Amino acid sequence: MKNQLRKHLKANLLNKIIYLINKYRFGFLGKNVFFDKNVDFIRFNKNLNVSDNVVFKSGAKISCCNASAKISIGANTTIGYNAFIFSSKSIEIGKDCMISSFVYIVDSSHGIKKNINMNSQDEIADNISIGDDVWIGQGSTILPGVKIGNGSIVGARSLVNKSIGENKIYAGNPAKEIGIRS
């Protein structure tokens, strides 16, 4: 049985045109991918791989920030309203995930050495891996080097700066374990 979101999605002509355009822009684009209005794919789109039945809601911004950066999104995953996914190295999102609105996933940061202008410092990047069947709550931030295990949940407005095991429930700033899925 389809969930409520997919049950009520109606691909119109504009969505079909956007799909066809992106089919040639992306490294891989699966079947039945839904693009809401105002979704931006910024830079190096050939490094973006999107599996079947992914939903991109309005305002989402996805960017492979350099020629070697990669983003992979698994089947049946939903990217929420105004979510930002910015990769300088590698971001992998598994299948059947829910990335809520206003989620920020970024795999890079900048150096913080004293006596060097902040905008002149080297970028520091580390892979992000989000397993299958993961739910990231509204307004959360996922930082470089984080791995989130299959079946885990990140509560709304959480700052995830450390990896999370499978079937864990984390929340807070910084995020801490508050439960286990049963």
pLDDT digits (tens, 9 = 90+) for 115-140: 989 888 888 999 999 999 999 999 99
**What letter does residue 100 receive in the DSSP assignment?**
-
The DSSP H or E segment spanning 93 is: strand 90-93
| pTM of the shown model | 0.92
Residue 133 Rama label (left phi>0; alpha psi -120 to 50; beta): left
Terminal-to-terminal C-alpha distance of the chain: 22
- Give me the pLDDT at residue 120, please: 87
Percent of the chain with pLDDT over 70: 96
CB atoms within 10 A of CB 150: 16
pLDDT at 6: 66
CA distance 53 to 166: 24
Give the contacts of 8 (CB within 8 A, at least 6 positions apart): none
pLDDT tier for residue 108 given thresholds of 50, 70 and 90: very high
141 residue type, one letter? T
Q: 156 CB contacts (<8 Å, ≥6 apart)? A: 100, 137, 138, 139, 140, 171
Residues annotated as catalytic are 110
